[in-house]
């Protein structure tokens, strides 16, 4: 297991206000989730069938493989398509938001530094929408709620891979009960991450469960957001040449 914990920021020239704002919004929304419970979470998460049919599903729906065999659906925003935005700032638990915010903290600032504040915000939102549409396209009739910043953050990773492939990333490597900290090029860290997503999605499809396989992780959303981020980078980047910081940590 490889867990990124930091990268070289010596070449960053601006303060990533938008990245900080996005992290703050995610934390606030998560606190709202904790106080409101399932009615808020299932009402404001993306449900593919709601988007493809333009209806707000309310009631209990049978879903094989979930606890109890049913998922309760609650009223959402009007129009229901707003869940494409609201779901982008929601999370399913402490580990979910903790992991996502860690990745956004590490990789988002450098991308914002290159794009500029406004373009970074637009880029982030587009990647989030692309991630949701990718998951919806995989199973348009699904009533399983999909939520999280993972798709948008995957877009940030895709952009980082394009612009800073040789930037050094610190990561914890877990080998059973033993762990160590290493410094690796970004293309290895992010490359291993996207390969894991691709294999996991293939396994989910092979098991005939597009989302519930693998613990309910929407891998296709990660994949869609990642490749959207890679493509959009060529439109949003400020500098056409590859940018990377010093390949070694300053002494």
Q: What is the CATH number of the domain that holds 30?
A: 1.20.1540.10
Residue 111 counted as domain residue:
yes
Asked whether residue 121 is domain-assigned, the answer is: yes
Q: Determine, yes or no, domain membership for 163.
A: yes
242 lies in some domain: no
Domain count, the chain: 1
Tell me the whole-structure pTM to 2 decimals: 0.90
Q: In this structure, is residue 223 part of a structural domain?
A: yes
Compute CA distances 162 → 65, 81, 88, 156, whole Å: 38, 31, 23, 10
Write out the residue range of the structural domain in which residue 185 sits.
Answer: 2-236
114 contacts 243 by C-beta, under 8 angstroms: yes
DSSP string, the chain: -EEEEEE--TT--S--HHHHHHHHHHHHHHHHHHHHTHHHHHHHSB-HHHHHHT----EEEE-TTSGGGEEEE----SSGGGHHHHGGG--SSHHHHHHHHHHHHHHHHHHHHHH-HHHHHHHHHHHHHHHHHHHHHH-TT--S-B--SHHHHHHHHHHHHHH-TTSEEEEEEEETTEEEEEEEEHHHHHHHHHHHHHHHHHHHHHTT-TTTTTTS--HHHHHHHHHHHHHHHHHH-S-SS-----SS---
The pLDDT value given to residue 206: 66
- For residue 248, tell me if it sits in a domain: no
Cβ atoms of 123 and 232 within 8 Å: the answer is: yes
Establish if 243 belongs to a structural domain.
no
**Assigned domain for 251 exists:** no
Distance CA 202, CA 212 (A): 13
In tens digits, the chain (251 residues) has pLDDT values of 889 999 988 889 999 999 999 999 999 999 999 999 999 999 999 999 999 999 999 999 988 777 788 899 999 999 999 999 999 999 999 999 999 999 999 999 999 999 999 999 999 999 999 999 999 999 999 999 999 999 999 999 999 999 999 999 999 998 888 889 999 999 999 999 999 999 887 776 666 554 443 346 789 999 999 999 999 999 999 866 555 444 433 33
pLDDT, position 9: 86
């Amino acid at each position: 297991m490889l867990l990124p914990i930091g990268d070289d920021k010596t070449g960053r020239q601006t303060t990533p206000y938008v990245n900080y704002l996005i992290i703050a919004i995610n934390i606030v929304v998560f606190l709202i989730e904790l106080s409101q419970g399932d009615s808020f979470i299932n009402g404001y998460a993306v449900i593919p069938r709601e988007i493809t049919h333009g209806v707000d599903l309310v009631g209990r729906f049978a879903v094989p493989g979930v606890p109890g065999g049913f998922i309760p659906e609650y009223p959402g925003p009007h129009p229901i398509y707003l869940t494409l935005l609201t779901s982008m700032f929601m999370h399913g638990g402490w580990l979910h938001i903790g992991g996502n915010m860690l990745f956004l903290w590490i990789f988002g600032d450098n991308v914002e530094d290159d794009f500029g504040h406004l373009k970074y915000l637009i880029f982030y939102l587009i990647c989030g929408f692309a991630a949701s549409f990718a998951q919806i396209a995989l199973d348009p009739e699904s009533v399983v709620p999909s939520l999280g910043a993972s798709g948008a953050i995957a877009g940030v990773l895709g952009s980082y891979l394009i612009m800073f492939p040789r930037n050094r990333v610190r990561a914890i490597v877990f080998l059973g009960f033993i762990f160590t900290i290493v410094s690796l090029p970004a293309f290895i860290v992010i490359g291993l991450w996207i390969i894991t997503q691709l294999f996991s999605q293939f396994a989910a499809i092979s098991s005939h469960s597009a989302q519930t396989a693998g613990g309910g992780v929407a891998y296709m959303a990660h994949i869609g957001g990642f490749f959207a981020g890679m493509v959009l980078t060529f439109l949003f980047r400020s500098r056409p040449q590859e940018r990377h910081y010093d390949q070694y940590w300053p002494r």
